[in-house]
A and B are shown apart, each in its own frame.
Chain A
Amino acid sequence: MSDLVTVTIDGVEVTVPQGTLVVDAAKMIDNDIPVFCYHPKLKPVGMCRMCLVEIGVPMRDRATGEVLRNEDGSVRLNFGRGLQTACTVVVSDGMVVRTATQPVKDAREAVIEFLLTSHPLDCPICDKGGECPLQNLTMRYGRGESRFDFSNKILLDKHVPLGELIYLDRQRCIQCARCIRFQDEVVDDPVIDFHNRGRRLEIVTLSEPGFDSYWSGNTTDICPVGALTTADFRFGARPWELTSVASVCTHCPVGCNTTLDTRREAIAGGRSVIKRVMPRQNEWVNEIWICDKGRFVHHYADAPTRLKQPLVRKNGQLVEASWDEALDLVAGKLQQHKTAVAGLAGDRLSNEDLYLFQKLFREGLGSNNIDLANRRLAGGDVVAQVGLASGSNLKELGAGDAVLVVATDLHEEAPVWWLRVKQAAERGAVVVVANLRPTRLDKFATHRLHYAPGEALSTIRQLVNLAKVEMETADSDPLAAAADALIKAKNMVVFYGSEGLTYEETDALARLLANLLLVKNGEGHVGRPNNGLIPVWPHSNTQGAWDMGVHPAFAPGYKPVSEPGLRATDIYAGVADGSLKALFVIGADPVGDGLMADRGQLDFLVVQELFMTKTAELADVVLPAQSWAEREGTFTTGERRVQRYYMAIPPIGDSRPDWQILAQINERVGLGKPAFAASLVFNEIAKVVPQYKGMDYRSLARVEKQWPDVGGEDLYYGGTAHENRSGLGQQWACVAESATVERFDVAEQPVIARDGLQLVRVAALYTSGTLIEQSPVLHHRMARPTIQLAHADATALGLADDDRAEVTVNSVTYETAVRVNEQVPAGLVLLSGVPYIAGLTTAQIRKLETAVAQPTGD
């Protein structure tokens, strides 16, 4: 029996895989069967009845099983007694589907008429108007006027906040349950549900805060009416007024494809502003989803506090200056201190920015003193060898495959990766989580390895050693069982992060995990699609920073330099002791992050930034840069996919793109005429960085047809996520794809005796920072400083749930909330809602006796 079946839909034959639903089979030949409740990413439920069609199957002789034929030799078909829902019927061989007959038309007309019985006629003020499946399908299939009496319309609440991010309009809801099913089936946050029955049915939430999910915004995309809207876009603009510009999310290493919907506005003085951020389909990256952080955090681009003019310190004050004056000063000072300069970059900058930044130091000033301001996770060089192979798609992982996730909480650090690993588990993949404590992924994991504080590396080392040994039967030892399941998998993907680890430990971790992937069981798990290492980088372009050589020891393309420069920690020391004279900080705030105390003995400090950060306040020159929305560029994701983003709004004030500022400084230090377009800088990158060879802005903009259809004409089928017309990006090939990679040497890490309660900083998606603070819509959800610990440990400290405590880490003191959580292993304290802290520290916790007013978080 073949895996394909052939069906005829409105006279057109189509061959599709077994198990395909009629509605999808029709979609594949561009026969759009209208739907409301059906969504190609959700399980079918057949609730709305909009997809009713005539379905006939060949009749067979009951005795012989022979297909019965009419006199003219044609197959006799049984169309049953009525219409069937195309979204719940699976295709079968010889099936004939009719979607345009009178009974079908009548049924559609009737369903529309019923859906509209109490639907309000407020399309002119509805956010969905213009991109509304109900509106579109009513125009196409509705009867134009209702036979129901207008006065019988039931009036229901129109402004029901399901929490402060998502609003429900009960009158508009057609009760398709797409939102409820998405929250339950797709993201496992079943925090909304139907209440009551019939026409009193409404969507409710009991979570605190309401609709407590990192994914809530997606429900507004798939809602086929204007029932669910975001607080951010509600009454913000009409869809047809919006200009959509392709972009890439800048808030984690996943690199979700987004669209910035912009509009010129009078209140912005005629400027174009971002009205909303929408997901853009990329089935290799984020499919059609984005997390709420990516959706709502865009406000920093338009923040009034953005820097607008270059500033130069005169008589102790930062005063506005011309670009020429500022740039001449920067170039002059950097050259003057040539032997004692250093550069620190943030890892949210584009590849073009980072490339030119290192070029300034390496070629312009002859210094390798260049690093990321805050390195958390090592292993870029390892990833270049055995990273996730090009051509990979996490969506393809399923039964027979394995995913290992070490020292990271994907749900908080890279939500879309969490989703994709969860879905791999649901398709049957082995998922092994190794961490200090349980995370949201544990529920879906097949193996959970919770190591004791300080034992991360020894545990993983043991796992690698066990993987090398052929095992006859599954061992009862959980570690051995996990090793066995991993090594026997057809494909293996390994994620690693830095939770509870120092930078040096993450380096050892990356190497150990590379060795695990290199263990040969047949082919080994490197160099093939859907195999390899994925680092859970702290920011959107940490990968690009490695690739571009923003590293004291690596030039672009991972070429080791003969004389490595100073690392960030040495640079901070050099600033303090006066061995460094000039420092260039770009897209980072080491003072605000507590990495650098002050400007120390520096003679010259230049900061290139969006905002007046703590570091910028101390600078001699502040250069106003453009945000990602005002310029174009490329980011490289943790899966090493290079992706383009585009200019969406005009520059704020006199700000310039980072790459342009750097190109102009580079010209002043004698590096020749500057590139006048980001694409040309990228062309230079493609020449210098072997991994990027063959890429250019055109190749990154390539698209191909993706399944399922979303956006465009098919709003009602896939929702309002945007169709991808601007580029799927390109994954660069790691070394293992073309050459043999040898096992990595792993330096022994000193084992530190761990006495007493150990404190680990854990990630929270909405942790305060320069950018997220600019989005008032998220203020209520921000992670407040909180410690979580087991009951026994809490009792020993005299702490109880809802107490306040004072926690001191590395001589910084935080006032925190206290949560007693039995999920936390004994001897461990989880600290969240505070800036990153590397490694483990012995907890110093003091109960705060007096009740301190909690921040209201307006």
Chain B
Amino acid sequence: MALIAEKYAEEIEGILKRFPDKKSAVLPLMHLAQQAYGHMSREAMQEVADILEISPTHVLALSGFYSLYYEEPVGKYVLEICNDLACALRGADEFVEMVCHKLGVPVDGTTADGLFTVKTVMCLGACDRAPMLQCNLKFEEHLDEEKFDQLIARLRAEAESGKEEPSVVEKIMAYAKS
């Protein structure tokens, strides 16, 4: 398949130009592929590998190493809740339980409408604002049940209206063109 090669031809060219060695462009290209394919599927890995002339196994290794690449399909919004030590002391575990209960999915599960995926992650460096989560790379801090309800309501409205905040890929594309 050549999904990103067609869809993001200009961006890929822009990204490749920024590195002395093609292989080094693997992480931004993986973000593009993840956006285009929905997640880091085997086809996505193969396409990135083909573009960069590297082994697909290498792409798989990177997607396994970095927690921002999802090898299984995920929802539109990925809620990555920190349950590392500091957050745990501020009730992160109970918070995770509450979130799962509200959305009706287990950890790593995706809601039936395909909007939300719940994940737990290690420290995101916002211990003073615990409990917290990261939603599509944006931090939501000092969370409690009320704030979480507001967040979910806002995201649902955003998804319905079609007006979305710039995604990581759009940031990458801006970077590629700069």
Contact = CB atoms under 8 A, between A and B. Distances in A.
Interface in B49-82: 54-61, 64-65
B65 A206 contact: no
Contacts of B61: 193-195, 204
A567 to B, nearest CB: 47
Contact of A190 (B42, B55, B65): B55
5 contacts: A190-B58, A206-B45, A206-B56, A206-B57, A206-B59
Contacts of A205: 57
A510 to B, nearest CB: 36
A191 interface: yes
B65 A191 contact: no
Contact of A194 (B46, B59, B65): B65
Given A206-B42, A206-B45, A190 B64 contact: no
Residue among A192, A193, A207 with max Cβ neighbours from chain B (10 Å)? A193
B56, B58, B64: residue with the most chain A Cβ atoms closer than 10 Å: B64
Q: Which of B46, B58, B59 is the most central at the interface, judged by chain A CB atoms within 10 Å of its CB? A: B58
A190 B23 CA distance: 13
Interface in A199-214: 204-207
B64 A206 contact: no
A193 B60 CA distance: 8
Contacts of A206: 42, 45-46, 55-57, 59-60
Contacts of A194: 61, 64-65
B166 to A, nearest CB: 29
A314 interface: no
B60 A204 contact: yes
Contacts of A204: 57, 60-61, 64
B65 A207 contact: no
Interface string B105-147: 0000000000000000000000000000000000000000000
6 pairs of A and B residues whose beta carbons are closest in the complex = A193-B61, A195-B64, A206-B56, A196-B64, A206-B57, A190-B55
A206 B60 CA distance: 8
Contacts of A191: 55, 57
Interface of B: 42, 45-46, 54-61, 64-65
A197 interface: yes
A788 B64 CA distance: 35
Q: Is the interface of B mostly helix, strand, loop or mixed?
A: helix
Contacts of B59: 206
A568 B61 CA distance: 54
A170 to B, nearest CB: 13
A274 B47 CA distance: 44
Contacts of A195: 60-61, 64-65
A196 B62 CA distance: 8
Contacts of A207: 55-57
Contacts of B45: 206
B76 to A, nearest CB: 25
Nearest to B49: A206
A343 B55 CA distance: 50
Interface residues of A, number: 12
A206 B56 CA distance: 6
Interface in A172-231: 190-197, 204-207
B54 to A, nearest CB: 8
A207 B60 CA distance: 11
A192 B65 CA distance: 14
Contacts of B54: 190
B55 A197 contact: no
A191 B57 CA distance: 6
B68 to A, nearest CB: 13
A192 B57 contact: yes
Nearest to B56: A206
A196 B67 CA distance: 9
B65 A197 contact: yes
A197 B42 CA distance: 19
Contact of A196 (B46, B55, B65): B65
Contacts of A197: 64-65
A204 B54 CA distance: 15
Nearest to A189: B55
Nearest to B66: A197
Given A190-B55, A190-B58, A206-B46, 10 more contacts: A191-B55, A191-B57, A192-B57, A193-B57, A193-B61, A194-B65, A196-B65, A204-B61, A206-B55, A207-B55
A304 B143 CA distance: 73
A569 to B, nearest CB: 45
A100 B40 CA distance: 49
A50 B61 CA distance: 25
Contacts of A196: 64-65
A120 B46 CA distance: 34
A194 B57 CA distance: 9
A190 B54 CA distance: 9
A206 B57 CA distance: 5
A206 B45 CA distance: 10
Contacts of B57: 190-193, 204-207
A190 B59 CA distance: 11
B45 to A, nearest CB: 7
A204 B59 CA distance: 11
B69 to A, nearest CB: 11
A191 B45 CA distance: 13
A315 to B, nearest CB: 61
A194 B60 CA distance: 8
B71 to A, nearest CB: 9
Nearest to A202: B64
Interface in A138-191: 190-191
A695 B57 CA distance: 49
Nearest to A197: B65
Nearest to A193: B61
A190 B65 CA distance: 17
Contacts of B64: 194-197, 204
B2 to A, nearest CB: 14
B123 to A, nearest CB: 14
Nearest to A207: B57
Contacts of A190: 54-55, 57-58
A205 B49 CA distance: 13
B111 to A, nearest CB: 25
Interface string A243-287: 000000000000000000000000000000000000000000000
Q: Which residue of B54, B55, B56, B60 has the most chain A CB atoms within 10 A of its CB atom?
A: B55
A103 to B, nearest CB: 29
Contacts of B46: 206
Nearest to B63: A195
A204 B45 CA distance: 14
A420 to B, nearest CB: 23
A566 to B, nearest CB: 52
Nearest to B54: A190
B44 to A, nearest CB: 12
A191 B65 CA distance: 17
A181 B45 CA distance: 21
A192 B55 CA distance: 9
A158 B60 CA distance: 21
A193 B46 CA distance: 15
Most chain-A CB neighbours within 10 Å: which of B54, B57, B64? B57
A190 B58 CA distance: 8
B60 to A, nearest CB: 5
A191 B58 CA distance: 8
A465 B17 CA distance: 42
B107 to A, nearest CB: 15
Contacts of B58: 190, 193
A727 to B, nearest CB: 39
A194 B58 CA distance: 8
A438 B131 CA distance: 58
Contacts of B60: 193, 195, 204, 206
A205 B64 CA distance: 12
B67 to A, nearest CB: 9
B46 to A, nearest CB: 8
A190 B26 CA distance: 16
Nearest to B64: A195
